Amino acid sequence: MTAAPHARARQTTLVVAVAVAMTVAGGLGVFLLLTSSSHPCVPGSVVAVENHTLTPQVLVNSPFLGSGTGTYLGVSPSNLSPSGPIVGAENGSVWGHFEDFRSTIREGVHQDTSNACDGQFFVSQTDNLSGGTQSLGSGLRNDSSEQEWVGDNGTGYSLVYLNNSFTSATTSVSTCGLDRETLGLTSDHFSIRLPFSTEGHPENVTVEVNALVSLAYTFPADGGTWLIDNLSAPGGPGGGWAFSFLGPCT
């Protein structure tokens, strides 16, 4: 991983749950996760602290034979970054830019009680003022085989699972008999999973990370046909597109 220091700290607080999918509406503050109880679920006591967790700002899958570029725009349209990282990838490679965060995990409790919310946790993250790019695969004809985790293995970073690979096609693109084509979209979040242990029991939380990213993908002229998994479709994990190369033009 190539380190790149940042000029100022940024505090980001995320609402998370194991069984409930949530999208955080902003980058600062604590947001309540409502349950079926008359008491909303709010952060309780600290159950785990991960001092170094790699959290994505940009993830880019490049189509086989083509290229991709992702530009970090900020946390949201109302909270833009003047100079976010830009990540490029080529010929089936996968690259990401990650921030090093300190993650504090709190048990969810019903407001005004000490009763735990079943299987629900809150995570707050503080930027450790470092980050960099990392490869998750190269020369991939199908992004289902890309690396789906970062950290661990003696790196000094806690294990983080990503949801950035190809699962099933939502659409396709072909340049057979056509010129080069560039297509783009904007993604507003990433879904990651953070495992931890509390009182000797393994747990994990799914975190919806707010990250507004502009993505562009280029497919070579008369290059072939690609299946596209739109990860940023409603209900998806976010982060743009993943690809499976069907083959060259015949």
pLDDT digits (tens, 9 = 90+) for 8-49: 233 333 433 333 223 333 333 333 333 344 679 999 999 999
Strand order in the sheet with 225-230: 171-174, 225-230, 241-247
Q: What percent of the chain is predicted at pLDDT more than 90?
A: 74
The enclosing H or E element of 99 equals strand 94-110
Domain boundaries defined on the chain: 11-247
Q: Which two tokens stand for residue 47?
A: 């159950």
Token match 């953070």: residue? 194
Q: Is the pLDDT of residue 151 over 80?
A: yes
Instruction: List C-alpha distances in Å: 2 to 9, 89, 90.
Output: 19, 16, 18
pLDDT digits (tens, 9 = 90+) for 67-120: 999 999 999 999 998 889 999 999 999 999 999 999 999 999 999 888 999 889
